Amino acid sequence: MPLHAAGAAPGKSGGTSASNYGCLFDTEATLTPLHAFIGPNDSGKSTLLHGMRTLVQFAGSSFQQSEGRWKPFEPYLPMRYPSSQPPRKPHDILLECGVDGGWFAIETGLRGLEERAGERRSSDTSAGDDRSNVGRHWEAHSVLWRRDRRPSDKKILSQLRQARLVRFDPDALREPSGLIPETQPVGFLDDRGHGLAGIYFAIRNRNDDAFSRIVDDVRRHFPTIKGLRIKVVTSSEVVLEVELVNGARVEATRLSEGLLYYLAFAALHYMDPVSLLLVEEPENGLHPARIAEVMRILRAIVEESGTQVLMATHSPLVVNELKSDEVSVVTRTAEEGTRVKRIKDTPDFEERSKVYALGELWIAYANGDDEAPLLEGTEP
């Protein structure tokens, strides 16, 4: 479990924190191995996930800039604080997390770029005053700086191997995909889920028992389905296909969204493990009865592989599958930015939880704006 409340640096409360990252001006969160962020739209839930993915990417590797775009994904460049929250340094981003044995932090920002670009211009008279190119040069290099280097870095960084973020799109899941060589890890090609057919081809070839277990689960939850096929369409591409109990075959372009989402979550369990799995709205496209099964899959990933699973959700059914310390309420104001509070720490939680299941408690006291009835202990 990479990001949690243990091992905080002196003066830190533990967990994770972010400053000047998108709408996260000075935000802290305490996390569990399986954890969900709930709250109004545009409160910062997705930004929290993206910030944690950026943090892990810094720990394991670096970003590169090509044709004006950041690879492997957009890490979010520095933004300004609101006037009520002055930054530690002008325009700097600061992302920090507690891990077993210590604290990992990265910090970068425009001030360092401007200072270093100025130094480069003054020392390189032959190149002229090409400020835009110099700025891009230092911008690309500044993101490699890691703060608070310590002897325990090797142990800390080993817990921050890789992060995988998914926000599945059924059209991406339907598309043909290439084959995954035996020497390469099994995983999606992007956040949307491209490459699902190739992943199932690899699962079947590398772990036939795992493929059989998935097919058995699909038959149990989708009674009209007899089997799952990976159809070869070219010498280098495959697509998914389903065989029904009546013998008919359904091509990938006609597979239901609910089935595609379920297959994508089922595949996550058998991919190469990562330190951090980030899921945006796991409830999308699923029948209410399938949500509990997806949550069972995500909890099994935590327990069996040690991967930490964090999600952003709007579904009380997702929340109902979690414990009170596994849910945090996220809100945002123009003055303070994003704030995170565990639902178990809200006023009158013990009394309210005797009446409501966890998801229903949230809905009963949520107004979709600032969640004041829940966070301030007032009646809706």
User: pLDDT digit string (tens) for 247-305?
Assistant: 999 999 999 999 999 999 999 999 999 999 999 999 999 999 999 999 999 999 999 99
Check residue 160 and give its pLDDT.
Answer: 82
Reading the block at residue 65, the tokens are: 């800039």
Q: Which residue has the higher pLDDT, 4 or 95?
A: 95
Q: Distance of alpha carbon 205 from its chain centroid, rounded?
A: 28
Categorize the per-residue pLDDT at 36 as very low, low, confident or very high, splitting at 50, 70 and 90: very high
Return the SS3 of 230.
Answer: strand
Judge if 116 and 209 occupy the same domain.
no
Judge if 268 and 288 occupy the same domain.
no
The Cα–Cα gap between 41 and 47 comes to: 12
Check residue 106 and give its pLDDT.
Answer: 78
Categorize the per-residue pLDDT at 55 as very low, low, confident or very high, splitting at 50, 70 and 90: confident
Q: Are 307 and 295 in contact (CB under 8 A)?
A: no
- Angle at the Cα of 137 (from 129 to 62), degrees rounded to 5? 170
Check residue 231 and give its pLDDT.
Answer: 95
Range from 95-109, 128-142, 279-293 that averages highest in pLDDT: 279-293
Q: Which helix (H) or strand (E) holds 198?
A: helix 196-206
- Choice among 1-5, 223-227, 348-352 with the minimum mean pLDDT: 1-5
Categorize the per-residue pLDDT at 142 as very low, low, confident or very high, splitting at 50, 70 and 90: very low
Check residue 101 and give its pLDDT.
Answer: 67
What mean pLDDT, rounded, does the chain reach? 82
Judge if 86 and 180 occupy the same domain.
no
Pair type for strands 27-29 and 16-19: antiparallel
Of the three residues 273, 305, 333, the one that is the final residue of a domain is: 273
Categorize the per-residue pLDDT at 143 as very low, low, confident or very high, splitting at 50, 70 and 90: very low
Judge if 204 and 279 occupy the same domain.
no
Beta bridge partners of residue 102, listed in sequence order: 99
- Choice among 10-24, 44-58, 168-182, 347-361 with the minimum mean pLDDT: 10-24
- Whether 127 shows a pLDDT value over 70: the answer reads no
Judge if 11 and 66 occupy the same domain.
yes
Q: What's the pLDDT tens digit per position in 74-86? A: 887 555 444 555 5
pTM of the entire predicted model:
0.85
What is the distance in angstroms between the CA of the first residue and the CA of the last residue of the chain? 37
Reading the block at residue 163, the tokens are: 């992060």
Judge if 332 and 317 occupy the same domain.
yes
Judge if 4 and 129 occupy the same domain.
yes
The Cα–Cα gap between 116 and 142 comes to: 9
Q: Are 49 and 35 in contact (CB under 8 A)?
A: no
Q: Are 353 and 322 in contact (CB under 8 A)?
A: no
- Whether 199 shows a pLDDT value over 90: the answer reads yes
Q: Are 39 and 45 in contact (CB under 8 A)?
A: yes
Judge if 153 and 207 occupy the same domain.
no
Beta bridge partners of residue 149, listed in sequence order: none
Q: Are 148 and 105 in contact (CB under 8 A)?
A: yes
Helix and strand totals (H; E) in the chain: 13, 17
Categorize the per-residue pLDDT at 21 as very low, low, confident or very high, splitting at 50, 70 and 90: confident
Q: Which residue has the higher pLDDT, 93 or 229?
A: 229
Question: What total of structural domains would you count in the chain?
Answer: 2
DSSP state of 81: P
Judge if 30 and 134 occupy the same domain.
yes
Of the three residues 233, 252, 273, the one that is the final residue of a domain is: 273
- Whether 11 shows a pLDDT value over 70: the answer reads no
The Cα–Cα gap between 167 and 93 comes to: 25
Mean pLDDT computed over 48-64: 85
Q: Are 285 and 257 in contact (CB under 8 A)?
A: yes
Maximum pairwise Cα distance, the chain: 77
Beta bridge partners of residue 71, listed in sequence order: 64
- Angle at the Cα of 234 (from 229 to 237), degrees rounded to 5? 60
Q: Which residue has the higher pLDDT, 154 or 339?
A: 339
Q: Which amino acid is at 140?
A: A
CA proximity to 77, closest of 57, 46, 48, 54: 54
Q: Which domain holds residue 43?
A: 1-162+274-380
Residue 130's CATH number: 3.40.50
Reading the block at residue 313, the tokens are: 């959700």
Judge if 10 and 127 occupy the same domain.
yes
Judge if 132 and 13 occupy the same domain.
yes
Of the three residues 206, 240, 273, the one that is the final residue of a domain is: 273
Judge if 125 and 47 occupy the same domain.
yes
